Amino acid sequence: MTDIKQISGGVCAPQGFSGAGIHCGIRKNHTKRDLALILSSVPASAAAVYTTNLVKGAPLEVTKKHLENGIARAVICNSGNANTCNADGIEIAETTCELLAKELGITAEDVIVASTGVIGQRMSIEPFKTGIPVLCAALGENNSALVGEAIMTTDTKLKEAAVEFTAGGKTCRLGGIAKGSGMIHPNMATMLVFLTTDCAISPEMLKKALSSDVQDTFNMVSVDGDTSTNDMVSIMANGLAGNAEISSEGEDFESFMKALNSVTVYLCRCIAGDGEGATKLLECSVTGAKDRSAAKTVARGVICSSLLKAAMFGADANWGRVLCAVGYSGADVDIHKVDVAFRSKAGTVKVCKDGAGIDFSEDEAKKVLSESEIDILVSLGDGSAPATAWGCDLTYDYVKINGDYRT
C-alpha cells in the first residue's frame, strides 16, 4: 500500500488544475470574495454526491445533468446566495455555465455549478456576466486559497488539503477545499467540497470511490442537525499523472481510496471544528460494535446530541448524556456493556464502566474537557466493529449567528 505524503497546494496541487476567486458583487461586503473557479486543462473524469434534502438548490439539478457522462472541465461556485427556491433558478445556473463555457472555450455541459448562501433570495445573472471574464483572467496554479475563500459563508477558517501518493508506479496528487459551518448534518455528503486529482481513474471507479468514502467521512459530520439544500461533494480526475487508468478494484484503487480518505477526513475535522460559534472539535470514536452499521449509528447519535454538545461547551463530564444518546440512537446494543471515557491532550478520564458510573476526579475531567479538541470514547463490548463521527460544542454564539443570518 502506498504511503501518503501531506503537501501544500489544495485543489491546485494536482497537475493541470488552476483556480481563481474574486468578488463579483453577489455579496454586499466588497471585501469578501464570492465567485470561485477551478479549471482542469484537459477533460477529466468526474463524479459527485448530493444532499438528500427534498428541497434542492437549482445548481445541483444542473450539475447532475451535466455529470451524466462522467466528464467535466470546470467548477464554478458562488457564495452569498444559494439559488434555491427561485422560479428562475435553473435558468440562472444554466446561464452561468454557458457564460463560463464561452469565456473558457469549453462546453457548458462540462461545467459543475454550485451555490451557497441564503435560501429563497432572488439571484441576478448580472454579477456573473461582469464577473466571469475577470474570474477567468485571474486563473492561476497557486490560487487554491483564493478559491477556498470565495466559497465561504459563515466559515471562519480556510479549509484545504492535499496529498501525494503512488498509483501504477507514478506519483499522483489529490487535493480538496471545503466550506461548511452551519446546516451540517449527516445525510448525504456535506456542505460543499471540491476535490481534484491528476490520477487516471475511470468515471465509474471514481464514482464508486467517492460514494464509498462519504459514508464514513462527510456522512459522519454534524454541527446542528440541519441538512442543507445545497450539499455537494464533487471530484475531477484528469489523468495527467500518467498512471495506467484505474478501471477496476485492486492495489492502485486501494491506494487511491487511501489518499482520498486522508483528504476527506482532514476536511471533515476542519468543518466540524469550525461549526458556527464552536469552540471545540468533538470526535466520537466507537469500538466494539456488532457491525459497522451499529457503530456508525451510535457515533452519529452521540455526536448529534444537543445536550452533550452543550455539556462539552461547559467542560462538564456529564457522561449520562453519552449513555442516553447511545440508548436512543436506534442501534442494537447491550447498555450494560458500554464503557465511556473522555480524552484530550490533557489526558484521559474514564467515567462509565459496564453502563454504570465510576469514581473519577471532576477537576481532572474539567482539565481534559477544557481543551479545544475532545475525543469521546465509547466501547460497546459487543464485537469488533469501529466508527468515528465528528461534531462540535453548542454555544451561545450559534444562536447569535443564526438569529440574524440574513443581515
Catalytic residue numbers read 190
Burial class of residue 404, CB neighbours in 10 A (0-12, 13-18, 19+) = exposed
Cα separation, 271 vs 256, in Å, equals 23
Phi first, then psi: what are they for 51, rounded to 5°? -60, 150
Strand-pairing partners, residue 249, are: none
Q: How far apart are CA 263 and CA 20, in angstroms?
A: 21
* Whole-Å CA distances, 332 to 18, 283, 299, 307, 337: 48, 22, 13, 22, 12
- CB of 224 closer than 8 Å to CB of 182: yes
User: How far is it, in rounded angstroms, from Cα 87 to Cα 153?
Assistant: 23
Q: What beta strand segments (E) does 63-104 contain? A: 71-81
Q: Which residues of 192-221 are buried (b: 16+ CB within 10 A; e: fewer)?
A: bbbbbbbbbbbbebbbbbbeebbebbbbbb
Considering only CA atoms, which of 129, 167, 150 is closest in space to residue 34? 150
Q: Which residue has the cell 461586503?
A: 29
385 bridge partner residues: 289
Closest among 147, 76, 138 to 110, alpha carbons compared: 76
What is the CA 10 to chain-centroid distance, rounded?
Answer: 14
CA 21 to chain centre: 19
